[in-house]
Amino acid sequence: MNHEINVQSESVQDYSDLNEEAQELIKAAIEAREFAYVPYSNFKVGSAIRVADGSIIGGCNIENSAYSPTICAERTAACKAISTGNNEFKAVAVIGLQEKSFTTPCGVCRQFLSEFAKEDIPVYVTKPEPERVLVTSLSRLLPHSFNLN
């Protein structure tokens, strides 16, 4: 069983080979996906973020008929975390259901998450029935994030 994720690499792994913490994070994202409000696209996405104290905070996508106020699952989870004082992210899971590919965070979410990742963090991407998991990292998804520091 893989107990450490090398955030500098990217691979597709069997869910059963991931460590317990990664599996727990993925399960939380799957559960969060069930609450998605998607009357326009019917495309449910769930996300979960592990924060510095080890707790997990989930979120789902929430659509709006005006489209631009729609919020992605990753930013929902991030805003929930930040609004409770948890502003250091340690890992992220994203669950979507695209037939032929993994649903990775959009560019806005990648940038948003990078604001609260003090170091490179693992990102686990899979489907609602997690058999295969894309294991990547935030810096691989967004190699040159915008940063004022």
Parse the chain into domains and list their residue ranges.
11-141
Q: Which pLDDT score, from 0 to 100, does residue 4 have?
A: 44
Judged by DSSP in three states, 98 sits in coil
Q: Which pLDDT score, from 0 to 100, does residue 147 have?
A: 83
Q: What residue ranges in the chain does DSSP mark as E strands?
A: 11-14, 46-51, 56-60, 89-95, 122-126, 132-137
Tokens standing for 81? Answer: 């975390």
Alpha-carbon distance of 120 to 101, in angstroms, equals 23
- Which entry of 74, 88, 119, 131 is annotated as an active-site residue? 74
Q: Which pLDDT score, from 0 to 100, does residue 3 have?
A: 35
Alpha-carbon distance of 91 to 108, in angstroms, equals 17
Q: How many CB atoms lie within 10 A of CB 4?
A: 7
Low-confidence ranges of the chain (pLDDT < 50): 1-4
Give yes or no: 129 in active site. no
For the domain covering 11-141, report its CATH number.
3.40.140.10
What's the whole-model pTM score? 0.92
